[in-house]
Structure formats: structure tokens, C-alpha cells
Amino acid sequence: MQNKGLVRIFALALTLVCIFYLSFSVVTSHYNAKAKEYAKGDKMKEFNYLDSLASENIWLGYTLKECREKEIALGLDLKGGMNVTLEVSVADIIRSLSDFNTNPNFNLALAKATQLQKTNSQVSYIDLFVKAYTELDPQAKLSTIFSTFELKDKISLTTSNADVVKVLKTEVDGAIANSFNVLRERIDRFGVVQPNIQKLGNGRILIELPGVKEPERVRKLLQGSANLEFWETYELNEIINNLSEANKVIATIQKNGGVAVVKDSTAATTPTSTTAKTATTASKTPALSKVDSLKAVLQHKNASATDSAKVLEKSQKENPLFAILQVNAQGGQVARGPIVGYAHSKDTAQINSYFNIKQVKEALPRDLGLRWSVKSIDKKGEIFQLIAIKITNRDGRAPLAGDVITDARADFSQNSSEAQVSMSMNQEGAKTWARMTKDNIGKSIAIALDGYIYSFPTVNTEIDGGNSQITGHFTVDEAKDLANTLKSGKMPAPAHIVQEDIVGPSLGQEAINNGLISFIIAFILVLVYMIVYYGLIPGLVADIALLANVFFLIGILASFGSVLTLPGIAGIVLTMGMAVDANVLIYERIREEMRNGKNMRAGIQEGFKHALNAIIDSNVTTLLSGIVLVIFGQGPIKGFGVTLSFGILTTFITAVFLTRYMIEAYAARENAKELPFHTKISEHFLQNTKIDFMKIRKSMYVLSAALFLISFVSFAVRGFSLGIDFTGGRNYVVSFDKPVKTEEVKTLLKDAFEGDLPQVITIGNDNQVRISTKYKINEDGSNIDNEIESKLYTNLKSMLNSNVTEAQFIKDNIKSSSKVGPAVADDIKTSAVWAVILAVLGIGLYILIRFREWGYTLGAVVSLAHDVVITMGIFSLLYGLLPFSMEIDQSFIAAILTVLGYSINDTVINYDRIRENVTLYPKRDRITIINDSVNQMLGRTFSTTFTVIITLIAMFIFGGDSIRGFIFAMLFGIFIGTYSSVFIASPITVEMDKLVKIRKSKKASEIKK
């Protein structure tokens, strides 16, 4: 092998990169274990231990927080957590842009577009609306609807419909981008490790929150509307005495055994403020001297400066508020401005709870509001400012809201190079802004979004005209985001959850255990098989390459920040089975060359040379299926596609380069023993076979036609068990203490959902079922999930222990839940169809380019269609009869695409040998060549199929219930794919060859005439 030095350097570099990225997972696992050992089961202690180390450098200059961000991320099905797809209502945005126009045709068009989107979800909603509106009134001008005060600078009565559509699309995109920014800020402050948020198009936003255990809290957090507000502020010196009194009140309450309780679960992320409804005024607060106030405020700082734990503890008891809220003071005096103080992010929830106490509220001015800054003031992202605002309106609303902003843009300050935001307001907003700035010269005005303060600039002079700038040490991106937020103002439409998956932590741990067990068993089986079939040294070489393949694959996944899911583990296991294919191709070819009289060295050289084309072709075709999965898949299925795609690349690297390097290194040794590349067991197995495959091809055509007919009859009579991915609905996996019968569960739930009879199937053990319902799936109310969970508890209560409460049932018995809205289901269904079609066409195009004959292409495409139809037929025939899910869903489509990749892999291997033999023996009959070629490849076909099947069987038995249907589809698909590559794809090339010869003969006859 040439360039051995380059191969060694590349292998070493790849190894170091993988070690580097995998080291973060090892380090975080070490600290997680230490935290568990320290906490001894106390989750709060465990959290506090890890939180205390979050900003400490622990590995190669990286903090624990950064290490956790770089570790291998586990998907929701392994770690537990919540996966949510939110959809911003474009209809509501358009309605808002029209200033809620009452034109009948306008509202009818919106209603019609909403209906059309359910079946045309790939088309822009605005295009559907415009089409519906012009159908209702062909002469109508959109400008009459949208020439509002808000859009007066962009749309006038003379603006054409095309230009109005452009403005609408820009405004809608801005509103959706604003929603994305708001949600990202919320998630960043939520405290989830390795969250994922991304735009999906059509107003949809995907959010993945691993480890989340409070789905209701998350729903409230994500579905709240964005609200931009402008507030007048307090100077700290105006309220310092009140804060000191509040500190004393808290200390007294704690001394008397009282407990300050956080009012609701969102307090840690949504700052709590006092409201105008508080009855007590500031005048009732006992007056303190300035000196006494400062002494009390700053006492905790002096205590923290000493090493005495007793002094610190005493200070914290006497000053519970100021022990965690560092007052904004300079030189022993409170600082100017609205900043009350500074606090660590982990203390903000406790501070919120203090300000929620009734007695504390009575010690504060009734018009005082407290808001946290959205941006931390330290590099570690831990310290936040608490800002004092004035609530001057009786209804508690801000004097100026975001709906007055007409434009905002990011630019740069003329006096410095810092990014800033320039904004302009409408006429009404400009008047209010002028009044606010005039009344607050020398003071600050705070700009808040969803309760968080973005900026609180000091007013130097009255600002009229509604034009002003906001500065705040912004980066360019931050200025752009804030400008977009200001421009969009309050989110014109709420975001609704249209798809949701919740996996409990116990189910996630079970999935991890199942995945690891299946991986280890499959790995051992493959390692043993290679040694038993090809001998000790070749087998060990292949096994080392396989180990390196898995190591490189996991390392690359870690370096790209890919999320490891249970289907992803299945992808790794499947990669192992398919990785053996490349080694099998090489070893079988070496055996063949050595049987033809070459010595070991020459056999190795020729074997690698002739196997290379087949390896490339088989891997490229499988890679096409992997790429389609990545493009069209969602969630775990996309993870499977990513793993499969990277696995194909690492397989090529290890098989072609690493295996060859090791084998040639062995052969180059002095007195190296000749390796036969077989054992006594495999020496004559499937060698020199003379099976006449083409003779029975017509019988196989009849068999396939019969399977096709049975499948289509089943499609018409039984149909399919469609998962909620394709139909929309909700799934709940519910476990019980004792075995239950599905019919009994179904009977208990018969009248629970107002006419919707739920589907109930056993999942895994006989004490666990999955309940599927479409009840209220078209409604967006945030309380519907709670309603359904309550109905499940009420109707299934007789099957539970008598002491189980509703809260316990939801927490402990509902192991996972998922929701898919109708529009999302339509999208998934459309994507699935396109994925299969594009995969087949892509593979067919590649075959045509590589083999340059229509016969090969037609044979490949027909065999792929054959595999898809018959695999779907089996699922149609057997659903409800087997003790696991056989639904047609995203996982099934992933299995189909994987089967396509494997089937074409097998077909291409045979095609490569057929092409080679045609080149060597051009005068031989095509039937003879195909028979010889398929017989020559039987050993390879058996080895590859056997290793893949044993890995799949290991996953089917040990991999867990959630992927059993997925694995069954692949098991059957690989069986039928092997059959079709021999009895469908190859014979069709014979039929096409005959047609070509007949046409040539006719043309020759015509020319003679």
C-alpha cells in the first residue's frame, strides 16, 4: 500500500481528536459520580455540588459547565426529558397586521387558508391566504386591508398586491424570529444542560430539553406571549430604607420559624414583582437613618471577607436577603441608578420568594417592581442585576408597550465602536416617549421583555419624534436580536405546542441498559464470527478494525455535538454488522485470488484492488439512504441517520486503510506464515457452487407477484396501523403494579374521551400499555394535557393501588407521553413519502451513472420497490397479531430506508461482479455470467447477511420495546432484500439484455432491407 506514512499520520490525528472529545464525557462522568457519592441520594445536594464547580476549570482549561456542553449528549429516549415543537399562528399574525380588520372576505380567506394548510402544510400560509382572498374577490386589493397606521410607511392604498405580500412575509418572518429569540432566552435561563432549539420552517420551532421533569412548567414557560415594556425606574437611594426593613422582616419571620415559600414553579425563571394592588404605602415604613441603613445593607459583605464561618452564619441569619443579594454600593454609599443589587443565578429564585412574602410587600412601596436583567454582568454568565421599576398605572401595565415600535435596527454609536439599537415609534408612542423622557431626565428608563430587563439607559434630555438609541455593551449579534425584538414588539400571536414527547427518567435508564446490552452482545457475536470463519489472525485484524471503527464513530459523533439516541445506538450496532461487509468483501476476494494460484502477498494486493470498487459502490448507495434520513428525519430518527452516515465513512476508513495496513504489515514480516483466510469450518462452505439461479427466475417472478397481490389485498382490506406521527393524536405509556389486559383498559376508557375510543396495546411487559387517543387534538389549550391525564387517572383508578393520588399517577405511572398535531402529522407523512421516493430515485441515478446500462438501473429500482411493498405488506398483515408495535410511523420509514440501503448494497456487490465478468468474458452468454457471478458471491452474501441478522436479533431481543417494531422491519427487510438482489435485480438485467439484442437484431434487419 502506498502512502503508509500518510495513513499513519491521518489515523493518529483522528485518534487524538476522538480522544480529546471523548475525554469530556469521561471527566463529567467522574464528577457526576463524585456528586452522587457526596449527596448520598439527596438530589438538591447533588445539584449544589455540581453547581459549585460549574465555573471551575477542571480539565484542559475548560470549566465543568463547558465540559458538560461538550460531552456526548443523550437523547430524550435515553436521558428522559421533553421534546416540543411550537407553532406560531401565522393567521393571528396576519390578523394583527390588519389591525383586526372586520372585512368578511378577509376573515373568510383566513378561515379557508387555515383549513387548506392542514392538507397543504408545505405551502406558505400567506400564499394560501392570498389565493383564498383573490378567489373570493378577484378585484380585491390587499392594500385596503393592510394600509394600517402601523404599516403606513410600508403599505399605502396604491401598493400592489405583490408588494403587500412581500411586506407581509417580511413582517411574519420578523415575528417568528422574535418568537425564536424569546424562546431561546427563556430556555437559556431555564437551567437545562445541552438544550437544543432550532427553526423548522412554517412558523415552527423545535425545542429539546433533556432531563426536564416538570412538563407543565415547561408548557407554561414556552407558551407565554412575549411582552415588550418601557418602565420608569426608582433610584436605589429612594428605596434603600424599605429594602433594609424588608431584610429585617425576613429575618424575623425565619427566626420565628416561618418559611418563605416560592409561590409557583416558574418563580426561578420569571421574576416576581410587587403590584399596584398592595394596600400599604411607603409612608408606613419605619424611618432609618442613612448610616444605620448602610451598616445593615453592607454587613454581609464584611462578614464574607473573613474566614470565620460563625461570623458568616450569624450575618446570614441577621441579613437573609442581603446575604444573597449584593447591594449596589460604592465607597460605603449606595450607588446612583436603578440597580438594586447583584445575585448569583442560583439565588434568584430564593430572592423572588422573599419578595413574595406578604409582610415583605407591606414594607415596600406599592408601586415598586423588581425585574432581573436578561444578561449577566460577568464572563461566567452567573451574576445578574436586580432592577427597580415604577408601576405607575393602576392596572399594573407599563406606560409604554412594544406595540408602538414601528422600526428598529442595529447600528454603531458615532462616539464609539459599540453596537447599539436605533428605534422609532408611531405618533402615539412618540408622545408618550417624549413625556417619559422629559419627566425622567437624569434617571433611567428600563426596557423589559417578558419581565427581563434588556437595558436601562439614563435619559439626558427630552426625546421627541419617537427616535432614540439603546446602548448596553452589545455585541453585533445581540444588537441585531434586540432590534428584531423591538421591531416585532409584543408577539402578535401565541405559540402553541403542536408536537410533544415526554420520556420519564426511569424509562430513559431502561433504554440505556437495553441499548448497552444489545450493543455488547451483538459486538461479541460479530467478533467471534470473524475469527471462526476467517481464522485467528485475519479475524483479529478485522476485529481490531471493528473496534477502531466504533471508537472513531463515537468520537466523531462527540466532536460534531450529535445527540445519541436509542435508534442511534441501533445505528452503531447496525454499522458494526455492515462494517464487517467491507472486510468480508476483501477477505473473500483474497481467498479467490489465492485459490487461483497467487501467493499470500500477491493475493492481498489483488484482493484489495478488486474489492475497492464494490466497497465504494455499496457504501455510497447506503450513504444515500443515510443522507435522506438526515434531511427528512426528525428527532431520534434523524439521529439514526446521522449515526448511520458517519458509520459508513468510518467503515470505509477502517476497512480500506486500517485493515490493509495491518494485513500487509503481517505479510511483510520475514517467514510470515501463509494465511488461508479460512478455517476448517469455512474452507469449503459455499465454495464452487453451481446453482442455476436464472433457471428458476420465472418461478421467483410468480412468487413475488403473489406476495405483491397479498400485500395489496391486505392494504385494501386491513389497511395499516398508522402511528400518531401520521394521524395526529396523543400516546401515553402507562405502567401498573400488576399484569393488565388491554381489553379491560379499553373498556374502562370507553366513555372517557367523549366518543373517541382509544387504542390500547401492550408495550413490553404485560403490566405496561400504550394508550392512543385523538381527543381534542385540534385544540390548542394548555390545560388539555392536564385534562387527559386526569381522565386517565379517574377511569383507571380501579386498576391502581388505593393510596395512589392523581399527582403520583402522573409522576410515576405515566412513563412517557407524546403528542402530534394534525398539521405536523401531515408534514411528517409528506416528508416520509418524499424520503422513500428520493432515496429510490437517487440510488437508481447512481446505478445508472456507475454501470451505464438501463438494465442494471431498472433491476435495482424494481427490486427496491419490491422490498418496500412486501415489507409494508407484512406490517399490514400482522399488526395486532404480534406482541409489539407494528405501526407505520417515522421509525418504520427509517427502517425502510435502511433496508433500501442494505438491499442495494447487496445488489451492487452482485452487479460489480457481473460487470467484471462481462468485461473478462464478453462473448459469454449473459445468463451464464450472472449465474457464475452470483455463485461466486454466495460466501460474501452469507457472511454479510448473517452478521447483520445476528446483530439485529440481539437488538430485537435485548434492545427494548420502543425499537422492537423498528428492528423487526429491518430484519424482515434484509431477508427480503437479499432475496430480491438475487432473484429480482439480477434476472431483470437478463430480460433487458434480451430486449436490447432483439432491438439490435430488428435494426440490423431493417438496414439490410
E-state strands within 403-477:
405-412, 419-425, 445-449, 452-455, 467-474
Judge whether 723 lies within some domain.
no
518 and 417 in a common domain: no
Helices H / strands E in the chain, number of each:
35, 25
| Lookup: cell for 675 | 494465511
| Lookup: cell for 194 | 445541552
With contact defined as beta carbons under 8 Å apart, do 164 and 151 qualify? no
Judge whether 420 lies within some domain.
yes
Nearest-angstrom CA–CA distance, 934 and 950: 23
Nearest-angstrom CA–CA distance, 23 and 15: 12
Judge whether 437 lies within some domain.
yes
Average of pLDDT values for 598-619? 86
865 and 855 in a common domain: yes
DSSP codes joined into one string, 294-346: HHHHHHHHHHHTSS-HHHHHHHHHH-TTTTTSEE-EETTEEPSSSEEEEEEGG
Which amino acid belongs to residue 840? V
> What pLDDT score does 22 carry?
92
669 and 534 in a common domain: yes
* CATH assignment at residue 762: 3.30.70
769 and 640 in a common domain: no
Judge whether 544 lies within some domain.
yes
Domain end, chosen from 22, 40, 71, is at 71
Instruction: Output the CA angle 733-739-745, nearest 5 degrees.
Output: 55
Where in the sequence is the domain holding 597, given as residue range(s)? 512-674+689-718+826-1000
Average of pLDDT values for 304-321? 65
User: In this predicted model, which residue has the larger pLDDT, 567 or 345?
Assistant: 345
Pairing label, strands 81-88, 204-210: antiparallel
Domain end, chosen from 785, 804, 820, is at 820
Residue 487: band (very low, low, confident or very high) from pLDDT cuts 50, 70, 90 = low
Judge whether 502 lies within some domain.
no
* pLDDT(490) > 70: no
617 and 536 in a common domain: yes
> What pLDDT score does 312 carry?
58
With contact defined as beta carbons under 8 Å apart, do 533 and 539 qualify? yes
* pLDDT(493) > 90: no
Whether the full predicted model's pTM is greater than 0.75, yes or no, is no
393 and 405 in a common domain: no
Nearest-angstrom CA–CA distance, 376 and 372: 10
* pLDDT(814) > 60: yes
**What's the full length of the chain, in residues?**
1009
Residue 288: band (very low, low, confident or very high) from pLDDT cuts 50, 70, 90 = very low
Q: Which residue has the cell 453451481?
A: 690
Beta bridge partners of 201: 204
Q: What contacts 279, CB < 8 A, 6 or more positions away? A: 362, 366
The dihedral sign for the CA sequence 894, 898, 904, 907: negative
Domain end, chosen from 172, 196, 222, is at 222
Alpha-carbon separation of residue 847 from 278, 854, 931 (angstroms): 76, 9, 21
> What pLDDT score does 300 carry?
44
Most confident of 451-465, 540-554, 579-593: 540-554
Per-residue burial over 843-865, b = 16 or more CB atoms within 10 Å of its CB, e = otherwise: bbebbbebbebebbbbbbbbbbb
253 and 161 in a common domain: no
Other beta carbons within 10 angstroms of residue 448's beta carbon come to 25
SS3 assignment for 169-223: HHHHHHHHHHHHHHHHHHHHHHCCCCCEEEEEECCEEEEEEECCCCHHHHHHHHH
* CATH assignment at residue 480: 3.30.1360.200
Angle subtended by helix axes 161-190 and 215-223, to nearest 10: 140
> What pLDDT score does 511 carry?
65
| Lookup: cell for 446 | 428600563
Average of pLDDT values for 416-442? 86
User: In this predicted model, which residue has the larger pLDDT, 794 or 724?
Assistant: 794
545 and 523 in a common domain: yes
Q: Which residue has the cell 471577607?
A: 305
Quote the number of domains for the chain. Answer: 6
Average of pLDDT values for 974-993? 89
* pLDDT(296) > 70: no
Most confident of 384-393, 493-502, 564-573, 663-672: 384-393
> What pLDDT score does 727 carry?
83
With contact defined as beta carbons under 8 Å apart, do 572 and 555 qualify? no
713 and 740 in a common domain: no
> What pLDDT score does 716 carry?
93
872 and 977 in a common domain: yes
CB burial class (10 A; 0-12, 13-18, 19+) of residue 431? middle
Least confident of 470-479, 540-549, 824-833: 470-479
SS3 assignment for 72-102: CEECHHHHCEEEEEEEECHHHHHHHHCCCCC
Residue 224: band (very low, low, confident or very high) from pLDDT cuts 50, 70, 90 = low
Judge whether 365 lies within some domain.
yes
Query: What mean pLDDT, rounded, does the chain reach?
Result: 81
Q: Which residue has the cell 454568565?
A: 381
Beta bridge partners of 516: none
> What pLDDT score does 359 carry?
92
With contact defined as beta carbons under 8 Å apart, do 905 and 622 qualify? yes
The tens digit of pLDDT for each residue in 679-696 reads 988 888 888 889 999 999
Other beta carbons within 10 angstroms of residue 927's beta carbon come to 17
988 and 939 in a common domain: yes
348: nearest Cα among 319, 371, 377, 314: 371
Most confident of 283-292, 471-480, 586-595: 586-595
Residue 595: band (very low, low, confident or very high) from pLDDT cuts 50, 70, 90 = confident
With contact defined as beta carbons under 8 Å apart, do 466 and 425 qualify? yes
697: nearest Cα among 992, 909, 977, 986: 986
Judge whether 111 lies within some domain.
yes
Widest CA span in the chain: 122
Beta bridge partners of 400: 230
951 and 843 in a common domain: yes
Judge whether 496 lies within some domain.
no
